[in-house]
Structure 1
């Protein structure tokens, strides 16, 4: 029996996998960076991928060497401001914003009776899934506030298997960030990376883009390992 044959479920990251909400995060975080006086760079933007809200804010503040200027209450206010900006932006999402190939892939998985969950660092994941018209595909959306630590810690992907009543080795996780791939691997699941193969070098299987992801392509890649 191959690795693929024992799979019964799939756990999806959201940003960069199901929809390109990352651009909205970038717009909202860049406003916060400007407010605290941190210069926005591509490296900083890349470093925020897959990281939760308070963790992202800490990175932005540290990047500008402003750590001593913001206590916990000030940080919480900034995080809330970012979230307000972000929610305004994501309220414009529609099913047309689902990334190429993902609707078809979800249809394929449901037709084959796989169980699906969402393992996103975003507390807004349920709202986004609703806006995209995908809520009926998923048995569960893991609440990132319910896990002990964010990505790259394995907790959220471990929870994504648990909510489906599956063992880790029965689940494939899909991610577009290095932190997310570490989380999947740490949870003992099979990792599928979508994006730059150098950045996602630790993934068990790599695809350049979402449109390349199909059930058969994953099976072929795993069977040829």
Structure 2
């Protein structure tokens, strides 16, 4: 059940911008398994005693660009390594190397298992499309294009701001407002009259600081209180809840 009951009618919004992983598709679970695998190996090899946990994912990794997540997590263990280059091989002992190792693990899992959108998310996308509401994706993932295509939902969205766009245009990682501001600009909407939908604490904070009038937090495990403290104006447990007003 949702934590809040005052559900806005998204069909009246000037635009709706969605995060991808954990909001539209259950790829957050694939990301979590990939991070767990990589950090378990890294911690064992480097002799880091405090184990990596799901709580670390939500606190340091979730919603951030890949390399920023690596650096943030390692910093939590008082570990600093060279940043390296985006072209570093996965075995490199650099932030980029660790990030690329995780990306390889994620890509392998995605291609072997495939992905489908959450049923409630797909139902909402279909309803908003039928109402001609402009929609976009704002995702820190560089794999967003592949995930959208694999899930069969790319055509719902007029614009996609992902990790590749962020890197190309030097957009700061969530929780900075940059990515959600760019999403609104590309979609041609004012954040003050638009809606953002996020499941990550960093993403909620990004949308809130970008000035979105409604920031919907989808609680897939981060915690309703934490999402609300980050700036969510409404908490739901599934996007199907947003159809109840229609």
Q: TM-score, normalised by structure 1?
A: 0.86
1:150-200 Cα distance to aligned partner (Å, 9 max, x none): 111111111111111111123100001221111111111121111132121
Q: Is 1:43 paired with 2:55?
A: yes
Aligned residues between the structures:
213
Alignment of 1:137-176 (within 5 A): 137-142=156-161, 143-145=165-167, 146-176=169-199
- Unpaired runs of at least 5, structure 1: 218-225
Distance 1:5 1:101 in 2: 15
**Corresponding position: 1:72 with 2:83:** yes
Structure 2 residue aligned with 1:222? none
Equivalences for residues 39-188 of structure 1 within 5 A = 39-47=51-59, 48-67=61-80, 70-73=81-84, 74-92=94-112, 94=114, 97-142=116-161, 143-145=165-167, 146-188=169-211
Separation in 2 of the partners of 1:72 and 1:194? Answer: 32
2:20 — aligned with what? Answer: 14
Query: Could you tell me how far apart the structure 1 residues matched to 2:67 and 2:11 are?
Result: 39
Runs of 4 or more above 6 Å deviation: 2-6
Q: Deviation at 1:216?
A: 2.4
| Bigger mean CA offset, 132-141 vs 193-202 | 193-202
Moved more, 206-215 or 16-25: 206-215
Where structure 2 has 5 or more consecutive residues not aligned to the other structure, the ranges are 1-7, 85-93
Residues 3 and 186 of structure 1: is their aligned pair in 2 closer, same or farther, counting only changes over 3 Å? farther
C-alpha distance after superposition, 1:54-78 (max 9, x if no partner)? 11111232233321xx212222122
| Distance in 2 between residues matched to 1:148 and 1:203, nearest whole Å | 22
TM superposition score normalised by structure 2:
0.79
Distance 2:12 2:217 in 1: 20
